[in-house]
Each structure stands twice: as structure tokens, then as C-alpha cells.
Structure 1
Amino acid sequence: MWQVVKRDVRFWFGVTFLSVLMIVSIGNTLFFDGNIRELTMMYNEKGELEAAPFSPS
């Protein structure tokens, strides 16, 4: 069984993909305390929309 699995490219691609997801998740928890950064719109004193978070491209 192991001889077949260790030559299967799809198996290694899946294991690598899941490992990267786990490492990124743990890194987010360690470096950013699990917070996901959110960009919000900028409003002026009247409550009107002043600027979007990104400049138009």
C-alpha cells in the first residue's frame, strides 16, 4: 500500500495543500491573535461616504 501511495502525485498534492492550510491557520493565530483584518469605508463628520478603502484602479 505504501509503495503505491508514495508514488501518487494527487496524494502528495493533497497532503501538501492541507499542510499549508494548517500552517497558515496556526501562523494567523500566533502572529495576529486570530484576528482577521477588515477594511472599512471612510466617513466624514456628517456620516457621508468620503473615500473607499482602495483607490480606483
Structure 2
Amino acid sequence: RPKGHCVAVRVTSEDPDDGFKPTGGKVQELSFKSKPNVWAYFSVKSGGGIHEFSDSQ
């Protein structure tokens, strides 16, 4: 029987004023505090960019 929870988060870089088309962007801050039995991995970090050719990272 499974125990625990899983949370998935997706950051998108889209322009709502242009029909939500993909656009470039910058992550200003990303903060995560580890706890026992809690882990995470990220494909971007604070100050990192999201390019227009990927609608989410």
C-alpha cells in the first residue's frame, strides 16, 4: 500500500497578452527548504532563464 504524497510543479513562461504564446523569462527567486524524508530536484535555479523554445521547465 503506497504511503506519502507527491507534488509536481511546472513553471511556464508564457505571454498572457499574446494568447499565452511561449516567451523567454527569468526566475528571480527559487527557494526550497529540505526536511527529513522530503526531497526535490529542479531544472532551473534562482537567476536562471527559461528560453522561449520550451513552454515549461
TM range (shorter): under 0.3
Structure having the higher helix fraction is 1
TM-score by length of 2: 0.25
* Higher normalized strand content (fraction of residues): 2
Q: Which is greater in Rg?
A: 1
**RCO (CA 8 Å, sep 6+): is it higher in 1 or 2?**
2
